[in-house]
Chain A
Amino acid sequence: METKTAIRLSHVTKTFGPVVANNDVSLEIRHGEILSLLGENGSGKTTLMNMLSGIYYPDSGTIYVNDEEVTISSPKDAFDCGIGMIHQHFKLVDVFSAAENVILGIDEKCSSKEAEERITDICRKYGFDIDPKQKVYEMSVSQKQTLEIIKVLYRGANILILDEPTAVLTPQETDKLFDIIKNMRDDGKSVIIITHKLHEVLRISDRVSILRRGEYVGTVETKDATALSLTEMMVGKKVELNIDRPEPVDPKLRLEIRNLTVKNSEGFNVLDNVNFDIYSGEILGIAGISGCGQKELLESIAGLQMTAPGSSVMYTAPDADEPVQLLGKNPRQIKNMGISLSFVPEDRLGMGLVGSMGMTDNMMLKSYNEGRSFFTEKKAPKELAERIMQELEVITPGVNTPVRRLSGGNVQKVLVGREIAAGPKVLMTAYAVRGLDINTSYTIYRLLNEQKKAGVAVVYVGEDLDVLMELCDKILVLCGGKLNGIVDAKTSTKEEVGLLMTHLRTEQEEK
């Protein structure tokens, strides 16, 4: 039993079209251990684990469970192999009770009373606190997560995979979860945790495996590792990208963000008391693991997010002395105040553009309402669309072709082109180069730099540290909805930023 591995992945490769998500990854998980799978966003952790849970099927490579070769082509196969995965997005039926969710889809005959008893047994064994009769929609996020774990255990899983389990938990809830995970390990189960929070990795796991850009980097014993050594393995050597970084032009205070707090529907602070300033003629980078409040931060400024009382975003126009409050106004009202604020949202076709409309109609999205005519004016948008098509080399059959049919890069060119054409004073972009090829990415960098030189305050939310380090002037790092530090991009190192992203500083460290 000692030498036998619970799971062994051998030379596994998975591609999605031209994108290689996992390249020749070999990895093993032992019985009764907690393994952390560490890596940046897009390093292929979740894809790899989805191949174990039956969501994806590998292009090549072999999977062994208890040293026996297996084929996992559906979630049911995974259960038969004793593998259970707790996804980041819970798969629960809201109006069902906990017990009903657990027995869902299980063929064997069993009364709800027996099921409830078995659930209570599992709870007692591992220290869960769940009422089998409680409805899911009445549960907190952490209870829902516990329920997902119970669901997996109920089906007899011996290998549990948790995808970023602590992303949505409070510190107390995280402590509780870790106790449970340790209980399960002591019971002989193997647990894999996908995460990018270093302090948690160090605290809970026995070993750490690191992925970078779809490739396996290595595995270390946690007792031999430090936050710094792990960060180095995770971010890798600095890659020279040769992105231009012109000197900031006459920086002036444009936006003052004070005490910005945003609560989600569960009452959890997704943004927690954030304070910083945005200057004109600069590019401010925002780094952070995804889901750390970047979306809420930009949407709050753009007038799309409810903020908690006490929050404040003050805007100072180039020619004005008195700053004005932006919060509590919708995008139309902000525009009517004469403030030109451009926003390139993360969800390009679901928020920034209308997929079924052509370029011309999309150009009017924010400006269609101008003028007194009852009808829309199409001449200017058409000219603009044609100009953007030419200048940014948008590949499309025509300005009236629905933008949904364009490739990702061209969609982004249309969106960025429109937002820049509005002549903004503040330009916010969220993951502006996600999914784009190299050439288009450089086009976007060039455009942002042009805006910076024109004195626009540019905010760049990004995920690639190399790009952030070379493109931005300052980098603000968010960690779990809190501002974890602002560094000068020219003098700081990749490791420093990586550490800020994954390791929330305590009060003492700050002093």
Chain B
Amino acid sequence: MDMLVTLIQAAVAFGTVIMFGCVGEILTEKSGSLNLGVPGIMYIGGIASLAGTFLYERSTENPSTFVCLVLALVCGIVGSMLAGLLFGFLTITLRANQNVCGLALTIFGTGIGNFFGGSLNKLAGGVGQISVPTTSAAFRARIPFLADLGVFGDIFFQYGWMVFAVIVIAILLHFFLNRTNTGLNLRAVGENPATADAAGINVTKYQYLSVCIGAAITGLGGVYYVMDYIKGTWANDGSIEKLGWLALALVIFTTWKPLNSIWGAYVFGVLYWAYYYIPGLTRSSQELFKMLPYVVTIVVLVFISVRNKKENLGPAHLGRSYFREER
């Protein structure tokens, strides 16, 4: 029983990181932009928020929890939105290839994240590991009463607040895409920009907004990872990159539906950590177990293409630039 609880806790924490990435990327892809820069954006979001709070915590004796929280979020969101804006400028205005720009953004973001993660303390004149205890504590605070409800509390409430925030964001995105006119217009842009254009929708505006806001949500995944998952430090082990690609895989797994990402992310988490809890596995076969999320994604990808059902195939104009005069 204890093992099951720890597995679920590990899966939920893990799933939260990729759910942020996935939900952000769904929003981006709904406008027809395939942004392969998810890992890069997560890095940038994570390091921006870490750097901001680090400099603040270092500069005052008694850092205020509230300022820490706001600073972490604002820095993370602004940083990742700038990354999204860069991607948008290159692909939407300059019509550069989306795949290539996304990969370049991943290289760039990986560099930014790990460079500052490794050098920030030194640049600021300090020594040793970077750490932001106050901010991290604010992100890791449990809900006082609910978290103490025994096993029930352990399974459902032994988490920082962002675990619940991402669920809310996913639900909001679902309602936005499926229940509002703006969401409808956005989906039309990703499906058939020429039709959207003819219906009087400002295609460029929708593309920019969805890429930037999508990037902001994706970047929050980096914030959660840094502040909660690894407790307000930095790890130069490339795990954000791995998580970023998993988030992209999750987008396919959910067939571009935000609600599916809520359980899909936890399934990925369980698949990823299951090796740890299955008795009798050697370390080598554990490694094979870790490939499960990717294999499952490939199976889903093949399955939806074989079934060829239009709702599951993702936005029809995904990955292509739109140029009005090229009808």
Contacts and interface: CB of A to CB of B under 8 A. Distances in A.
Contacts of A137: 310
B200 A76 contact: yes
B200 A93 contact: no
B192 A94 contact: yes
Interface stretch (A99-107, A253-261, A398-406): A99-107
A444 B168 CA distance: 68
A92 interface: yes
Most buried by B among A103, A105, A137: A105
Contact of A105 (B194, B196, B311): B196
Given A100-B184, A104-B188, A109-B181, A95 B311 contact: yes
Most buried by B among A92, A104, A106: A104
Interface in B189-230: 191-192, 194-196, 198-201
B184 A104 contact: yes
A96 interface: yes
B200 A75 contact: yes
A105 B191 contact: no
Interface string A72-85: 00111001000000
A449 B37 CA distance: 60
B200 A103 contact: no
B181 A94 contact: no
A91 interface: yes
Interface string A121-146: 00000000000000101000000000
B310 A95 contact: yes
A447 to B, nearest CB: 33
A105 B187 contact: no
B134 interface: no
B184 A91 contact: no
Contacts of B194: 91
Contact of B195 (A79, A93, A107): A93
Given A96-B188, A105-B185, A106-B181, A91 B198 contact: yes
A93 B190 CA distance: 10
Contact of B187 (A75, A76, A92, A96): A96
B181 A95 contact: no
A106 B180 CA distance: 12
Contacts of A109: 181
B310 A91 contact: no
Nearest to A99: B184
Which label, helix, strand, loop or mixed, suits the secondary structure of the B interface? Answer: helix
Contacts of A92: 192, 195
B316 A105 contact: no
Contact of B310 (A75, A76, A94): A94
Contacts of B196: 93, 104-105
A75 B199 CA distance: 7
Contacts of A104: 184-185, 188, 195-196, 199, 201
Contacts of A93: 187-188, 191-192, 195-196
B198 A75 contact: yes
Contacts of B200: 74-76, 79, 105
Most buried by A among B187, B188, B201: B188
Nearest to A138: B310
Nearest to B184: A100
A417 to B, nearest CB: 29
A95 B198 contact: no
Contacts of A135: 310-311
A136 to B, nearest CB: 9
A114 to B, nearest CB: 12
A95 B199 contact: no
A103 B181 contact: yes
Contacts of B311: 95, 135
Most buried by B among A95, A103, A106: A95
B191 A94 contact: yes
A406 B20 CA distance: 51
A137 B181 CA distance: 21
B307 to A, nearest CB: 14
Interface string B173-185: 0000001010011
A393 B100 CA distance: 42
Nearest to B195: A91
Contacts of B187: 93, 96
Contacts of B184: 96, 100, 103-104
A481 to B, nearest CB: 26
A486 B195 CA distance: 41
A94 B188 CA distance: 9
Contacts of B191: 93-96
Contacts of B179: 112
Contacts of A110: 181
Nearest to A94: B310
Contacts of A96: 184, 187-188, 191
Interface in B298-318: 310-311, 316
Interface in A397-427: none
Given A100-B184, A105-B185, A109-B181, A94 B198 contact: no
A267 B74 CA distance: 56
A147 to B, nearest CB: 12
Nearest to A100: B184
Contacts of A112: 179
A95 B188 CA distance: 9
Contacts of A76: 200
B310 A105 contact: no
B295 to A, nearest CB: 28
Contacts of A79: 200
Contacts of A91: 192, 194-195, 198-199
Interface in A51-80: 74-76, 79
Contacts of A95: 191, 310-311, 316
A106 B200 CA distance: 8
A91 B194 CA distance: 8
A36 B181 CA distance: 36
B90 to A, nearest CB: 24
Most buried by B among A74, A91, A135: A91
A371 B233 CA distance: 66
A17 to B, nearest CB: 15
Most buried by A among B179, B181, B194: B181
Contact of B316 (A94, A106, A107): A94
A154 to B, nearest CB: 12
Nearest to A75: B198
B26 to A, nearest CB: 15
Nearest to B315: A95
Contacts of B198: 75, 91
B247 to A, nearest CB: 23
A104 B311 CA distance: 18
Nearest to B179: A112
A106 to B, nearest CB: 7
B7 to A, nearest CB: 37
A98 to B, nearest CB: 13
A91 to B, nearest CB: 4
3 tightest A-B CB contacts, nearest first? A105-B199, A91-B195, A76-B200
7 contacts: A74-B200, A91-B199, A93-B192, A93-B195, A95-B191, A105-B201, A135-B310
Given A93-B196, A94-B192, 15 more contacts: A91-B198, A91-B199, A92-B192, A93-B187, A94-B191, A94-B316, A95-B310, A95-B316, A96-B191, A100-B184, A104-B196, A105-B185, A105-B196, A105-B200, A109-B181
